[in-house]
Amino acid sequence: MAEFFRLDGKVAVVTGGGQGIGEAICRRLAGAGAKVGVLDLSQANASRVAADIGGVALVGDITKETDLSRLFGELEARFGSADILVNNAGVASRKGRDLPIWELVREDWEFVFNINVVGLALCCKAVLPKMIERRFGRIVNIASIAGKEGNPKMGPYSASKAAVIALTKSLSKELVGKGDICVNSISPAVIQTPILEQLSSEQINMMLSKIPLGRTGKPEEVASLVHFLSSSECSFTTGQCYDISGGRATY
């Protein structure tokens, strides 16, 4: 039987690839044949995952353009330029700052938007000139159900993920006529990863209570959807936001 969704010969970068959902995505894409750059703030985690999958650890901060030019240079020297970018690095809030909007300060907004939106856009900018030159690319942006529904006490996070969904749509339209380049986003509900340590148990229980399937999702379930969206077979879908929320989203 023919094998589908193979990624042999493709080079992928996964931001926040050192743990959680990003780690599962790295493992899945490498399992399908891709050469993977594991980009993360954490040297230990990026190196651990890269060593396991025969990838390259790219250690740095997605909000810093100097880091990004160094990291994408390292990727190119080792494997070539990126065919696939998975923008997964993200934060829920500053620790202990899941508060109503009237109690937030400017730094709460800037912290979340700088990573979830500005850093993500800078990563797109880092890979797109080469994708356009080679007329091929896949970008998958990890948004959130919070970006569709707006979770209470998660104002900056919800707004940042709505921005990711809209940015995906804008970018997909800007790329029309520039080759086989597709840009999509996904919106997970609660997935069991260390990001939940940034939130109170009350907040997590509220989010869990809204999931009809009655459980948290697994990073591997997210990775399988990202795998399809990263593949050459996903060639007639762009600008979309795919749901992976155990039934929470009805649109």
- Residues of this chain that bind ligand NAD (CB under 6 A): 15-16, 18-22, 40-42, 45, 61-63, 88-91, 115, 119, 142, 144, 188, 190-191, 193-195
Smallest gap from Cβ 206 to ligand NAD, in A, equals 13
Structure tokens at 237: 């879908």
Indicate the residue among 166 and 195 with the shorter CB distance to ligand NAD: 195
Smallest gap from Cβ 128 to ligand NAD, in A, equals 19
Question: How many other C-beta atoms lie within 10 A of the C-beta of residue 241?
Answer: 20
**Torsion sign, CA atoms 80, 90, 169, 183:** positive
Smallest gap from Cβ 77 to ligand NAD, in A, equals 20
Q: Provide the residue count of the chain.
A: 251
Indicate the residue among 47 and 232 with the shorter CB distance to ligand NAD: 47
Smallest gap from Cβ 74 to ligand NAD, in A, equals 14
Residue 157 among the catalytic residues: yes
Smallest gap from Cβ 13 to ligand NAD, in A, equals 11
Indicate the residue among 111 and 132 with the shorter CB distance to ligand NAD: 111
Structure tokens at 222: 């997210």
Question: Distance between CA 219 and CA 22 in Å, rounded?
Answer: 8
- In angstroms, how far is CA 151 from the centroid of its own chain? 19
Smallest gap from Cβ 40 to ligand NAD, in A, equals 5
Question: Distance between CA 82 and CA 11 in Å, rounded?
Answer: 5
Q: Which listed residue (157, 182, 189, 193) is catalytic?
A: 157
The set of catalytic residues is 157
